[in-house]
Amino acid sequence: MRGRSGSAHKLAPTTDADSPWRPFEDRRRDRDVKRDAVLRTAAQLFLELGYDRTSLAEVAERLNITKPALYNYFGSKEEILAECYRLGQEMSQASLTAIAAMPGTGLERVGALIRDYAEIMTRDFGQCLVRVDDRVLSPDSRRHVRAGKRLIDQGFRRFISEGVADGSILPCDVKVAAFTVAGALNWIGHWYRPGGELEPQQLGEEFARRLTMGLAAAPQPEPAPARRRRRPPEAGDEPGGAAPKKRRKAL
């Protein structure tokens, strides 16, 4: 289009951010980020107020969005809770898989799982596993959640059994030993609060040292000063991929 002067009329350039035709991958990434924000905010409220006392209106208010906007991502509060459970269990199961593939004795595998699981219990989705009663779920969702919990218990039993077989763990009642270890770790999810003296990694190291001492067939040496080790999986990690850097919370 040309004006009377004959010069071309230039339109203001449209940036990618302004365009409604952004690449599909960008739009999907935006949706994933928003969905993750809903989950994390809801998990925090479930832990602060309790599941029954948390409404979708409160989740929306915390996010500074409208309640109807939440339904773009989840159809109900129960659906949000079921996904929080799934993410917590996903971290635990990813840890089990990674540790099972590592070389070492049964006792070493138990120690590695204790360290990872202790850290998971300091995270919102991990705490939902032990602080929100799964009886609030529908029977079908509850079956899935409890099946996931059984996998974690079976992982502890498997590694303890391996330790008894290879001589690194004293002969014991494997079921009772697994319940004892898991019970101590699950309780972290009830009393842990950020801002204390120990970071989650240090907490995991301390629990691993104390709990494996009661299982070991021989006295365990004092551990060397803490060094960087394999990080337990985060919710949303890509398999084999690097996790985004996050500020670690302190106990």
Whichever domain contains 67, its CATH number is 1.10.10.60
Residues 110 and 160 in one domain: yes
Asked whether residue 6 is domain-assigned, the answer is no
Q: pLDDT averaged over the chain?
A: 83
Query: Is 218 inside a domain boundary?
Result: yes
Specify whether 128 is located in the same domain as 34: no
pLDDT at 168 (0 to 100): 96
pLDDT above 70 covers a percentage of the chain that reads: 75
Domain boundary among 41, 75, 109: 75
Euclidean distance between CA atoms 25 and 31, whole angstroms: 10
Residues 126 and 214 grouped into a single domain: yes
E-only strand ranges, the chain: none
Pair 147, 230 in one domain: yes
Looking at the chain, the whole-number percentage of residues with pLDDT higher than 90 is 70
Q: Is residue 9 part of a domain?
A: no
Predicted pLDDT at 223: 52
pLDDT at position 221, please? 59
* 121 pLDDT above the threshold of 90: yes
Same domain membership, residue 216 and residue 149: yes
Q: Are residues 118 and 207 in the same domain?
A: yes
pLDDT of residue 198: 81
- Report pLDDT for 31: 83
As for how many domains the chain has, the answer is 2
Is 244 inside a domain boundary?
no
Q: What residues contact 122, with CB distance under 8 A and at least 6 apart?
A: 188, 189, 192, 194, 200, 203, 249, 251
Residues 161 and 175 in one domain: yes
Pair (62, 158) in one structural domain: no
What span, in angstroms and rounded, lies between the C-alpha atoms of 249 and 193? 9
Question: For the range 245-250, what are the long-range contacts, defined as Cβ-Cβ under 8 Å and sequence gap of 24 or more?
Answer: 248/199, 248/200, 248/201, 249/122, 249/194, 249/195, 249/199, 249/200, 250/194, 250/195, 250/196, 250/197, 250/198, 250/199
Task: Say what the pLDDT of residue 194 is.
Answer: 83
SS3 3: coil
* Of 126-135, 159-168, 238-247, the least confident: 238-247
pLDDT one-digit tens code per residue, 204-221: 999 999 999 999 997 655
Residue 4 lies in a domain: no
In eight-state DSSP terms, residue 169 is B
Does residue 155 share a domain with residue 120?
yes
What is the tens place of the pLDDT at every residue in 150-182? 999 999 999 999 999 999 999 999 999 999 999
Q: Which long-range CB contacts under 8 A does 41-47 form with residues at least 24 apart?
A: 42/77, 42/80, 42/81, 42/84, 43/84, 43/124, 43/125, 43/127, 43/128, 44/124, 46/81, 46/84, 46/128, 46/131, 46/132, 47/124, 47/127, 47/128, 47/131, 47/132
The answer to whether residue 122 is domain-embedded is: yes
pTM exceeds cut of 0.95: no
Residues 44 and 94 in one domain: no
Arithmetic mean of pLDDT, 183-210: 91
Residue 225 has pLDDT above 60, yes or no: no
The parent domain of residue 132 ranges over 81-236
Residue after which a domain boundary falls, among 75, 91, 120: 75
* Token pair for 19: 């365009």
Q: For the beta carbon of residue 177, count every other beta carbon within 10 angstroms.
A: 22
Phi, psi at 216, each rounded to 5°: -65, 140
Q: Last residue of a domain, which of 75, 98, 120?
A: 75
Written as one letter, the residue type at 224 is A
Q: Is residue 54 located within the same domain as residue 176?
A: no
At residue 250 the predicted structure's pLDDT band, cuts being 50, 70 and 90, is: very low
- Express each pLDDT in 57-106 by its tens digit: 999 999 999 999 999 999 999 999 999 999 999 999 999 999 999 999 99
φ/ψ region of 10 (left if φ > 0, alpha if ψ in -120 to 50, else beta) reads beta
